[in-house]
Chains A and B, each alone.
Chain A
């Protein structure tokens, strides 16, 4: 079974250290939950795994380790190579690409991800085949087929963006998926539908890291482990009961139990405040 293995990961943004040594290991077929207060570094972890150029890995490793022990260095890959290696990030705040239809975007995307060696300019997946598959997937997700004709995330509501991310997940069927607050912006029914969909898409083949503040998304995706991030570190890991506790009682017990991480959290908040940053697009709010 292939594993995504993260060791001692330190990540800085604009010269300021955000992640301060993260260790995490996810196998294909496993579900992990990542919780933590706003600003603790959850989205930063997702971006770093995906290779966002603004998130600088200052030390540590991210590797894909195959069942036979073969290792691939994820940090040496461009973001698109990571996608082709089977890594997927559902963005907390997906970007709009005006003028580009979701269907056209996805056809290009699916073609590249399914043929990792495809060269630029080579044929895309045949239109007919792609359309049939897209139509079927949209029906499974109870999505209106016209939705794919709209421009990527352009003028989408929060909920529509999240559903579009789930559609892309379903079409790309990655080996490892990081779902960054894919439940935010959805109403209760939509969260239940998303939860079911993700469980169906994931199956036994996909390793999933669910970043969430709630339990509902975990209803059909029972995590093997729940991890709590505070001040840029994973301070505690536990079973499903941990997610329930955090959802009900918040992070006070965690802050009290890990004073160093709580201090780091305050320092990060101050740095963000002093720099007068508006919360950047895609970063946690």
Chain B
């Protein structure tokens, strides 16, 4: 692991999250005043807000007892330079795939990127955008910079979708977000190659990055975000407190991928929300392999007639990891479709929680809503909870949900062994087969391959 070569950080922050620290950050920031005002307002709320209440349905299965808010503060400049970025990129599971991807025939071909944004401990390391796209009006890069340049198209969306007053994490993110990135694609501009966003942490680092993606009418893009680094279990770890806002315009098509691959000492709290307008399409894939504890809200709102959202989740947990996902598919307009499939495999004493909700408003007739969660237990001590939910106010709808939980079938393993595969190879194959159904839905080959490989590496003997 490259993480071992990243510099260590001291456990206690020299500055806490507070008004003084924020003033210092804003003094050095090129962001426009309206954006700074949003931060100040959130910071003012921060002092009055506590950690989320465990009586809250969304948080009751998340064990925050060992999370100490006072242990964390705003990021300082990273002391390691380009060498760290190299290590970071090597560790990012998609990087290799993107520069060297396989085509259908198994031949390796060089992948192309439309843009790349990397950050370390909340500091921007690199921003690149294909010049021809910039010429077409595409905006991609550090929020601090582009919010000032393109307030006309961004101001209305910035922090418009996620609630920053809900709890301590929400307010903290809104006040202290750093190394945030914005993508704006003007109407009818189609970006063929993916944009790659990597957020990295050193041991004990803090990442509060915000991601805003806005696709104009008829625009198309593929955004791959991933996280890497942070301390392993037992070290200082790391803290991610992030947010994502997505606006898919009318007839636009966005493929969004979030791969969470922190080391196992990182606390990960993320709020992610997308709105899809009339006839817009969103394919949103979450891959979650890392972190010590994750609390992720993934909400999709279908706000215009004929909007379509496909949500894919691929989770693999091990050790004592605990990953909690609260998903929402909110049908606000008629004749929309949402289809969620989360698949998780659990090893050791890890725990996976999925709580899903399909909400259909009165106006949303002809809704087609689906949610499903399948979990595969690779050990007897792992635990998975699936809690689907429906809240339907319209009467002409088709909404279904399902959940399964099972173990690797010994008969399948024997069959594969009888054909010469070792017990381990057989188990790996069965697990790969389990994920295939969701991989079949992910239309981005490098993402499929990177996830399959990363999961394959993690599987140990099935008990």
Residues of chain B within 8 A of A128, CB atoms compared: 106
Q: Could you mark each residue 371-410 of chain B with 1 if its beta carbon is under 8 Å from any beta carbon of chain A, else 0?
A: 0000000000000000000000000000000000000011
Q: Could you mark each residue 70-114 of chain B with 1 if its beta carbon is under 8 Å from any beta carbon of chain A, else 0?
A: 000000000000000000000000000000000001100000000
A78 interface neighbour in B412, B416, B423, B436, Cβ under 8 Å: B423
CA gap between A91 and B421 in the complex, in Å? 16
Closest Cβ of chain A: how far from B188's Cβ, in Å?
37
Residues of chain A within 8 A of B425, CB atoms compared: 80, 108, 112, 120
Residues of chain B within 8 A of A88, CB atoms compared: 418
Q: Determine whether B430 belongs to the interface, using a CB cutoff of 8 Å to chain A.
A: yes
- Given the interface pairs A97-B412, A105-B429, the reply to whether A120 lies near B418 with Cβ below 8 Å is no
B420 touches A83 (CB 8 A): yes
User: Which parts of B423-451 form the interface with A (CB within 8 Å)?
Assistant: 423-426, 429-430, 432-437
Residue of B nearest to A83 (CB): B420
B419 touches A99 (CB 8 A): no
Interface size, chain A (Cβ < 8 Å): 35
Closest Cβ of chain B: how far from A155's Cβ, in Å?
13
Interface size, chain B (Cβ < 8 Å): 27
Residues of chain A within 8 A of B423, CB atoms compared: 78, 80
A95 touches B417 (CB 8 A): no
Q: Determine whether B422 belongs to the interface, using a CB cutoff of 8 Å to chain A.
A: yes
Residues of chain B within 8 A of A80, CB atoms compared: 417-418, 420-423, 425-426
B106 interface neighbour in A100, A120, A127, Cβ under 8 Å: A127
B430 touches A97 (CB 8 A): yes
Q: Determine whether B411 belongs to the interface, using a CB cutoff of 8 Å to chain A.
A: yes
- Given the interface pairs A53-B410, A105-B429, the reply to whether A97 lies near B415 with Cβ below 8 Å is yes
- Given the interface pairs A109-B419, A172-B419, the reply to whether A99 lies near B436 with Cβ below 8 Å is yes
CA gap between A97 and B418 in the complex, in Å? 13
CA gap between A94 and B412 in the complex, in Å? 9
A99 touches B435 (CB 8 A): yes
Closest Cβ of chain A: how far from B433's Cβ, in Å?
3
Closest Cβ of chain B: how far from A39's Cβ, in Å?
20
Q: Determine whether A238 belongs to the interface, using a CB cutoff of 8 Å to chain B.
A: no
A95 touches B432 (CB 8 A): no
Q: Determine whether B159 belongs to the interface, using a CB cutoff of 8 Å to chain A.
A: no
Q: Determine whether A282 belongs to the interface, using a CB cutoff of 8 Å to chain B.
A: yes
A99 touches B106 (CB 8 A): no
Q: Determine whether B59 belongs to the interface, using a CB cutoff of 8 Å to chain A.
A: no
Residues of chain B within 8 A of A98, CB atoms compared: 433-434, 436-437
